[in-house]
A = this chain, B = another copy of it.
């Protein structure tokens, strides 16, 4: 499928490379499309989003909704938006305490199909999950068909079905997003980003 990745930081580049390796057609949307070093064509966010079946927001979470507003409601209508972002302040605190950028994005763009996933780990784990053994990737979203498309993309990244934990509707994105302080604390204690959590039951 054709995937527009909005954002050309380390997360967007890592996911783009992995999707290209899995046979997908990737285009980047960026406010600075002229920069080099991206693994796929780069254009404006609006043109990239308009051309794609799925739009992935690999942006700072606090900037994700305003970036989509610049893309436009009409471009987003009916499209799947996979939000992998976390909204934190420059100090690392939650920018939307007791809420989530995922839920706010769905509220702001009711005609898009927002799915939250992949926001709970380092990008090197997103694209090489089984190097750690079995761990968990959460999925939240209101539209089951859109979640199934995202789950198929997670499989393409190497996440076994048994590792894909469907939390429910987009209101459950508050859980993974509020995990981010624990991610940061664990990162400091471990001293390296290659870790993840596994739900054991």
A53 is an interface residue with CB less than 8 A from chain B: no
> In whole angstroms, what is the CA distance A189 to B199 when docked?
12
Mark interface residues in A168-201 (1 if CB within 8 Å of B CB, else 0). Answer: 1000101110111111111011101011111111
Q: Is the CB of A195 within 8 A of B201?
A: yes
Q: Is the CB of B185 within 8 A of A195?
A: no
Integer count of this chain's copies in the complex:
2
Say yes or no: A185-B201 contact (C-beta < 8 A), given A97-B97, A98-B93, A98-B94: no
Q: Is the CB of B195 within 8 A of A167?
A: no
A166 is an interface residue with CB less than 8 A from chain B: yes
Interface size, chain A (Cβ < 8 Å): 39
Q: Is the CB of A178 within 8 A of B182?
A: yes
A132 is an interface residue with CB less than 8 A from chain B: yes
CB distance from A192 to the nearest CB of B (A): 8
Q: Is the CB of A189 within 8 A of B167?
A: yes
Across-interface contacts of A23 in B (CB, < 8 A): none
CB distance from A176 to the nearest CB of B (A): 6
Say yes or no: A185-B168 contact (C-beta < 8 A), given A178-B178, A178-B179, A179-B178: yes
User: When the two chains form the complex, which single residue of B133, B174, B183, B184 contacts A181, counting CB atoms closer than 8 Å?
Assistant: B174
Taking beta carbons and an 8 Å cutoff, which residues of A are in contact with B? Answer: 93-94, 97-98, 132-136, 138, 165-168, 172, 174-176, 178-186, 188-190, 192, 194-201
